[in-house]
Amino acid sequence: MKQKSGSKKRKKSRRSKLLIVSAVIILLIVIALLVVFVSPLFAVREIDIAETEHISEADIAAYLDRYMDKNGLVTVLKNSSLRQKNSFFSLRLSEVEDEILFDHAYLEAVTVRFEPKHKLRVELTERKASFLTEYYDIFLLCDIHGIVLDTFTREDVPDDMPLVKGITPEGYKLGRSISDGKDRNIDAAIKICGLMTQLDMMGYVDIVDVSDYSSIRMYCAPSLTIILGSPDDVGVRLSLLKGTMDDGLNGNSDGTLTLIDGKKATFVKNGERGD
C-alpha cells in the first residue's frame, strides 16, 4: 500500500511540475506577443510607393496615412480575414489592396506589405491601354482585355491610340470590360488591338474597323488602307503588317495593303490595278 501511495504522489508531483512549466511557457508567449504587438519597434514610420504613370503617390498615400505611427503587425492583423487567411503570414494589407483596386481602373494589381521594422511598401501594376472606341459622345479608353480605363471628350481624346469602329457597347463602367462574350465584333476588336499592343504597334494604325467580321480593315492617315481579313490566326498577319510597316510603308503610301493569306503582304497603289 505504501508503494502505491508513493507512486501516486510522484505522479501527482510530476503533473504539477508539468502544469507549472506549461503555464510559464504560455505566460512567456503571451508577454512576447504583447511586446511585439504593442512595441513601437514595429510602428509604421515610412510609406514607400512605386511610381506609376497615371496615379500619383499622394493618391495612394491617402489610403495609408491612417496607419502612420501604428503598430504594423496589428495593422496587418486587422486587414486580414478568413477569406484572406494567408495575408497575415505574408504581412500584406489585403483589405486596403482591394479598396485601392476598386477605386482605380488603371490598376491591374496592388500589393501593400509591411516590412519590419517601420515601412509599408506598395507595389503597383498598371494596365496597358490598347484602344479607343466611341460610346455616343464619349470616347472609352480600353486595355488589352477591353477593360475601360478612362473616358475622354472629342476635344481631349489621345492621338496615339487606334480608334475601333464598327462596335456598339451596350454600356460601360470604369474598371469593367466592354465585352460580355456575346458580341463577336467587340471580342475581335479586343483581340486584334491586344495583339497590336503586345507587338508594340502603338501609333502604327489610326482606325480599326470591325464592321465586317470576315473582312476587317485598318486605316492609316492620310491614305493607307489595310485589309486584314477575319480575326482567325490574326497574330501572324499582324506580325507581317508590323514588318511591312517597319520597312517603310506608312499612312502616306497612298494605296491598299492586303494581308489576307498571312504569307505575303500585297500593296497596290491607288489608281493602279493589282494582279
pLDDT in single tens digits along all 275 residues of the chain: 555 555 655 555 666 667 666 665 665 555 555 555 556 678 889 999 999 999 999 999 999 999 998 888 778 888 876 445 555 567 899 899 999 999 999 999 999 999 877 899 999 999 999 999 999 999 999 999 999 999 999 999 988 899 999 999 999 999 999 999 899 999 999 999 999 999 999 899 999 999 999 999 999 999 999 999 999 889 999 999 999 999 999 999 999 999 987 788 999 998 776 55
Residue position matching grid coordinates 475622354: 152
Nearest to 53 by CA among 122, 144, 128: 128
State the Cα–Cα distance between residues 1 and 88, nearest whole angstrom.
Answer: 57
User: Are 153 and 207 found together in one domain?
Assistant: yes
- Among residues 126, 158, 186, the one where a domain terminates is 126
User: Are 148 and 122 found together in one domain?
Assistant: no
User: Are 52 and 96 found together in one domain?
Assistant: yes
pLDDT of residue 82: 47
User: Are 57 and 96 found together in one domain?
Assistant: yes
Residue position matching grid coordinates 503588317: 241
pLDDT of residue 87: 53
User: Are 122 and 156 found together in one domain?
Assistant: no
Q: Is residue 210 part of a domain?
A: yes
Q: Is residue 274 part of a domain?
A: no
pLDDT of residue 79: 82
Pairing relation of β-strands 216-220 and 224-229?
Answer: antiparallel
- Among residues 126, 155, 177, the one where a domain terminates is 126
194 Cβ contact partners less than 8 Å away, ≥ 6 residues apart = 130, 144, 145
- The neighbour count for residue 199, using CB atoms within 10 Å, is 14
Overall size of the chain counted in residues = 275
Which CATH number covers residue 162?
Answer: 3.40.50
> Quick check: 216 and 210 in contact, CB under 8 A?
yes
> Quick check: 229 and 214 in contact, CB under 8 A?
yes
User: Are 83 and 191 found together in one domain?
Assistant: no
Which CATH number covers residue 64?
Answer: 3.10.20.310
Q: Is residue 195 part of a domain?
A: yes
- Domains of the chain: total: 3
Domain range for 180: 129-269
- The neighbour count for residue 162, using CB atoms within 10 Å, is 25
- Among residues 97, 126, 155, the one where a domain terminates is 126
Backbone angles phi, psi at 170, to 5 degrees: -75, -20
> Quick check: 191 and 183 in contact, CB under 8 A?
no
User: Are 120 and 233 found together in one domain?
Assistant: no
> Quick check: 219 and 209 in contact, CB under 8 A?
yes
